Amino acid sequence: MKRTWTIIGVGDVAGSFKWYQSLFGLPQTQPAHDDFGQILDSDGTVLLCLHEWGAHEHPTLMRPDRATPGNGLLLFFRVDDFEMALPRARALVTRLEEEPRMNPNTGTMEFSLRDPDGYYVMISALSAA
């Protein structure tokens, strides 16, 4: 099996860590490091990595002013608890970017919102309703 570890640059690892755990309905824990954390599913699968801007001198994660967060990136998550994810998402933001709708390509319900760093996050039901 192969898995990707999507890593995004964030301004506040602990804050983003808590935000994503809330969005996914995961137990609240702390990131392993001040400058890096992994959002893990209940089975230990890495869902998303959060990396502090400028830490470790990775060329593409040096400074947020050199790249617009979210430009060319869509964080797309398929969830098995879509009906519960929607109120969790609404509690995290003042408004959704896109209200729930049926995606004609996947045949599943989805909605979108922005995370604290401005990344565009799409939440999609795992299977058709």
DSSP 60-127: GGS-GGGS-TTTT--EEEEES-HHHHHHHHHHHSSS-SEEEEEETTTTEEEEEEE-TT--EEEEEESS
Q: Which domain holds residue 21?
A: 7-125
Give domain status of residue 12, yes or no.
Answer: yes
Q: What pLDDT does residue 106 have? A: 87
| Number of compact structural domains in the chain | 1
pLDDT per residue of the chain (129 residues) written in tens, 0 to 9: 677 889 998 999 999 999 999 999 999 999 999 999 999 999 999 999 999 887 777 666 666 676 666 666 789 999 999 999 999 999 999 999 999 999 998 899 999 999 999 899 999 999 876
What is the model's pTM? 0.85
Residue 99: which CATH number? 3.10.180.10
Give domain status of residue 19, yes or no.
Answer: yes
